[in-house]
Structure 1
Amino acid sequence: MEGFWWGLVGSSSLVLGALLVLWRTPSRRLTGLIMAFGAGVLISAVAYDLVEDASESAGGWLLLAGLAAGALTFFVGDLLIDRSGGDHRKRSTGAQSSGAGGAIALGTVLDGVPESVVLGSTLVGGGGVSIAVLVAVFVSNLPEAMAATVGLRQAGMSTVRLLSLWGSTTLVSAVAAGIGYAALAGAPPEILAVVQAFAAGALLTMLVDTMIPEASQFGGPVTGLVTVLGFASAFGLSAIGG
């Protein structure tokens, strides 16, 4: 239950992002800049709270295998979902109108599960949840939900369906965090390291596929600076926590 509740906190920004858009639709540039900041935060969390931690318990080849497996797993799953009508699911342009609702929902869950499992795994060892990873999950989910909600509204999805989509995704992510904690509690350090590397590979692939294109297209010339700001902010939290 502890993993579940922390997962719920981290993924609650999905609902918050949708509510913000339903209250007042942001400009595409603002959405892109928030997306850039979230991408920077998540990149930092992957580098310092996943890969660096994992490197202390497992050798380089094992970590490379975990990274490759995570990246390939997400790539194949995402490719199948895209071909089923879930492509452009997090775009703010309304391109989702040509897709399938079920595939969009499934793809949204696919994007959120790896980071939630990682969030739950940070509880292993009894040291409490990693604040840096919690902030990374929360901040990165917010712009994803905002951009996708803008696009889904333009594609004609009703308010009830939107809130149902993000509410169910939040619950699934919370369950994934709980499962991550329960499944990895007592696991050897090498197994935990491989899981962290696997999640890192999946998250990096997701970033390039869904977040960075939106940020680059609409954020304007300061997109890179905002991404670095997000990276530095998360790194600072990680350093303080360490």
Structure 2
Amino acid sequence: MKEYLIALALSALPAIGNFIGGLIAEYYRVSTRLLSLALHGAGGIVLAVVGVELMPQILQANPPWVVILCFFAGGAFFVALDQAIHLVQTRLGKAQGNTAAWAIFFGVAVDLFSDGLMIGTGSTIALSLGTLLALGQVSADIPEGFATIATFKRQGISRRNRQLLSASFFFPIFLGTTIGYWAVRGQSLLLQLGLLAFTAGILTTVVVEEMIPEAHEHSQDTYLDTLIFLGGFSLFALVSVYFS
């Protein structure tokens, strides 16, 4: 139990980073240009999570077609969820732009869940590994938190609700850590990798269908957007290589 509590404490670090990003968005005037750059940076980071952190582990599965199918299922699940959010927003008479905000929120929550899953499973191997994984996610989560809360801010969501949404990011990472530590531990490698592949499918779809299109709505079509996207990817790659 002591090791589990330590794993939970470690998993709080990325959530705190995400929360700090949200606070920056709250107390800094968010222009459309800055929001576009933040979304490009967050999109690069999320794709790096998939390409650098998750896929090398996923493709170790045997047989590989199972995890590839799980990857597709994750993307299909998000598409269905996105359509459901859009339908609910439409029936409630809300602005269509809110759909993208909630989709991005869900994508970041899934990213934090995957962080918790990695920290939880890593801690079952060695607490030092769990510590490295937790530290490696902190700097990468700050832009995500900023982009998420900035998007809600642009959509007119009240400050109180934005703060509650920002604080709620602790839940998915704690849930992921708990599942990674207790439920996934001792299970077959194929099941563990299948869960990671499902998560990777969701994250990839979030970037392609929500983050980048939303970013382009506020873009001025300069190369800076592309460089920020590449910078986000490179930042996470550096963190992953040197801290995990």
Give TM class, smaller chain.
0.7 to 0.9
Amino acid at match of 2:95: S
Taking the TM superposition and a 5 Å limit, the aligned residue runs for 1:157-168 are 157-167=157-167
Alignment of 1:74 with 2:78, yes or no, is: yes
Deviations for 1:156-179, whole angstroms, at most 9, x for unmatched residues? x43223222332x22332332233
Assess, with a 3 A threshold, how the Cα gap between structure 1 residues 5 and 100 changes in structure 2: closer, same or farther. Answer: farther
Rounded Cα–Cα distance in structure 2 between residues aligned with 1:117 and 1:39: 17
Count of equivalent residues? 228
Q: Output the TM-score relative to the length of structure 2.
A: 0.79
Amino acid at match of 2:109: V
Corresponding residue for 2:231? 229
Rounded Cα–Cα distance in structure 1 between residues aligned with 2:43 and 2:102: 21
Alignment of 1:180 with 2:185, yes or no, is: no
Taking the TM superposition and a 5 Å limit, the aligned residue runs for 1:146-225 are 146-152=150-156, 157-167=157-167, 169-181=168-180, 182-220=182-220, 221=222, 222-225=224-227
Gaps of 5+ in 1: 88-95
Q: Output the TM-score relative to the length of structure 1.
A: 0.80
Which of 114, 117, 122 pairs up with 1:118?
114
Identity %: 17
Alignment of 1:238 with 2:234, yes or no, is: no
Rounded Cα–Cα distance in structure 2 between residues aligned with 1:100 and 1:173: 24
Rounded Cα–Cα distance in structure 2 between residues aligned with 1:166 and 1:86: 24
Which of 19, 27, 47 pairs up with 2:23?
19
Q: Is the 8 A contact 1:58 1:193 kept in 2?
A: no
Assess, with a 3 A threshold, how the Cα gap between structure 1 residues 25 and 225 changes in structure 2: closer, same or farther. Answer: same
Taking the TM superposition and a 5 Å limit, the aligned residue runs for 1:27-38 are 27-38=31-42
Give the secondary-structure state (helix, strand or coil) at the position aligned to 2:186: coil
Q: Is the 8 A contact 2:22 2:149 kept in 1?
A: yes
Rounded Cα–Cα distance in structure 1 between residues aligned with 2:170 and 2:16: 9
Aligned-pair Cα RMSD in Å: 3.0
Corresponding residue for 1:90? none
Q: Is the 8 A contact 1:45 1:136 kept in 2?
A: no
Rounded Cα–Cα distance in structure 2 between residues aligned with 1:238 and 1:217: 30
Amino acid at match of 1:42: V
Gaps of 5+ in 2: none
Alignment of 1:65 with 2:64, yes or no, is: no
Rounded Cα–Cα distance in structure 2 between residues aligned with 1:35 and 1:16: 16
How far did 1:53 drift? 1.4
How far did 1:106 drift? 6.9
Give the secondary-structure state (helix, strand or coil) at the position aligned to 1:98: coil
Rounded Cα–Cα distance in structure 1 between residues aligned with 2:100 and 2:231: 30
More displaced stretch, 158-167 vs 106-115: 106-115
Deviations for 1:49-83, whole angstroms, at most 9, x for unmatched residues? 10111212443312211111111111111211111
Q: Is the 8 A contact 1:17 1:146 kept in 2?
A: no
Rounded Cα–Cα distance in structure 2 between residues aligned with 1:104 and 1:230: 20
Assess, with a 3 A threshold, how the Cα gap between structure 1 residues 59 and 237 changes in structure 2: closer, same or farther. Answer: farther
Alignment of 1:98 with 2:95, yes or no, is: yes
How far did 1:200 drift? 0.4
Rounded Cα–Cα distance in structure 2 between residues aligned with 1:239 and 1:100: 36
Q: Is the 8 A contact 2:21 2:143 kept in 1?
A: no
Corresponding residue for 1:93? none
Rounded Cα–Cα distance in structure 2 between residues aligned with 1:16 and 1:138: 6
Rounded Cα–Cα distance in structure 1 between residues aligned with 2:103 and 2:225: 25
